[in-house]
Structure 1
Amino acid sequence: MHLILVRHGESLWNRENRFTGWVDVPLTEKGREEAKRAGKLIKGYRIDVAYTSVLSRATETLDIILEEMGVKVPIIRDQALNERHYGNLQGLNKEETARIYGEEQVKAWRRSYSIRPPGGESLEDTQKRTVPFFKNCILMDVKLGKNVLVVAHGNSLRSIVMYIENISPEKIPFVEIPTGVPIVYLMSKENKMIDKKVLNESNGQN
């Protein structure tokens, strides 16, 4: 069974280098192109069901991917897959925030496992909602023999990748999830990772 994770295409606030979180920001034209490219890259895979967050940048990316693949499948939308909530930082430019609070502090807010931004969620907090949903819903479909596509966000996916690959809190700050790049896991019947491919345009995988 295949489990495919895709971070949404570039959003307007990605382009403007702002903290987005739960603010519902649309895709840019580049983001739509990234979604189309993701659809082309996974066209050879069968998809039985798709999951996404309730935020439009993810739901639109999923719609574009499925359209590009020429398939229609059941879609489950749930806020458990929403991006990490950035609290008081939402809407702020990342470079300006680094000038105010210092680069190391902002880096800790963005990348660490347990440090919360002011009024927001840490990655650990995010994982407490993403992983139960992942185990109880998404992995149940995988266990039933379904190929599952999940389109979500940088940090909600980072928290799920951390669980799948058993990545430590010390190593997770170095894990990047690029926009519009499919991560394809081959899963066993026991929901263990057998293989992983990161698909790109140049050679289909790396």
Structure 2
Amino acid sequence: MSSLRDQAVLQAIFNPNNPFGDDFWLDAEVELTDDDSRFDSVLVEQAKDLELRGVSLAEAGNIDTALELFGRAIAIIPERASAYNNRAQALRLKGDTTGALSDLDKAVELSGGRGRTASLALVQRGLLHRLSQRDPEALQDFQQAAGLGNKFARKQVTLMNPYAALCNCMLGEMMANLRNPKASTPPSV
């Protein structure tokens, strides 16, 4: 039976594009939740219902009606981050990057940078920053989301680190050479 450290090393060898760290071997994303206990539970249920309906409508392509439902959820509990994050996704689908970024900023602010909504909002905002070629801002968002346990964000942090990418590439080549030594070319002298 192998130790957790052994498993981590094997993961690094066979998945060189993944980050390597203390919790690298964990397959499951850290279970994050949002703390809605400070809000009236009846209002939370109403807002969640509107959000779920809005998500379904957005997935079906009815973005305008989805935006309306997200707006109603925000009106019910303006201090709750989730509806802002969901509305940002719909705004992004509609092509309103500025509006989406504004809602993502609000979601991160209201969540205090903690919980599921913060993780999702940070990743989404990081992706929008990358698309706008604002890599320092993107990296900061991905690092914060990675700190919350978001596996996608961890991969993005690694991909944005040129040194880690180079090391991963060299490790991948080395492993390929070990698997198939006849295919590798000897170094020229």
User: For the superposition of Structure 1 and Structure 2, which TM-score range results when normalised by the shorter chain?
Assistant: under 0.3
So what's the TM-score if we normalise by structure 2?
0.28
Return the structure number with greater relative CO, CA threshold 8 A, min gap 6: 1
Relative to its length, the structure with more strand (as a share) is 1
